Amino acid sequence: LAGCSAPSQSGSAAAGGSAAPVSGGEEKKSYEISETIDTDIVVVGAGAAGCSAAVRAAQLGLKVDLLEIAAVVGGTTIFTEGMTSIHSRFHTPETDWDIEEMVKRIQDYHHWLSDGHIIRQMLEQSATNIDWLESIGHEFVGLGTMTGAKKLTWTMYKHEPNVPSGTGYVEHWGKLVSDTFKDNINVHFSTS
């Protein structure tokens, strides 16, 4: 993984950089290669996005190595309640948003610092993504909102009471990457 390795001292000096300490006075570390792996795709991070990428690649028949710094999948996904969506099977005309109106609201909320093209793509694909997530066993219970608006944006995960709402969602990702698709996905936990 050349893209993950530290720049060489001569490379950083040639680029006008310094071979001096990196930050906070720490010296650059050298790493020993402990293992070489032949794979089709490397996914870094086993939160919901990384697990989604790994599972979809496995469905396409690719060999995936999924690297995770923690000892479990999930990351901060365990604290989520659901995902932003429009035009899904859960929406009705009364609860759905026009895509341009939703892009504007999201951009306004983020002070127009986010990439509107990516936001639009996320929204355009959100119903298809919900369908795909259900096809691989994730369960949703309907729509919710944090603002009390009649038009709803959160497709909520099914979850048990008195546990973080993303718990079941994360546990299911763990089963998918470690069991269901184990022939195509090799998960490397505690991997810095």
Strands (E), the chain: 41-44, 64-67, 82-84, 140-144, 154-157, 185-188
Residue 192 has a pLDDT of 80
Read off the pLDDT of residues 48-94 as tens digits, 9 standing for 90 and up. Answer: 999 999 999 999 999 999 999 999 999 899 889 999 999 999 999 98
Q: What is the spatial distance between Cα 187 and Cα 192, in angstroms, rounded to a whole number?
A: 13
- In the chain, which stretches have pLDDT less than 50? 1-2, 9-20
Q: Which two tokens stand for residue 172?
A: 């299911």
* Residue position matching structure tokens 């709803």: 152
* pTM (2 d.p.): 0.79
Distances (CA, A) of 118 to 6, 33, 35, 126, 143: 30, 36, 36, 12, 23
DSSP state of 10: H
What pLDDT score does 14 carry? Answer: 39
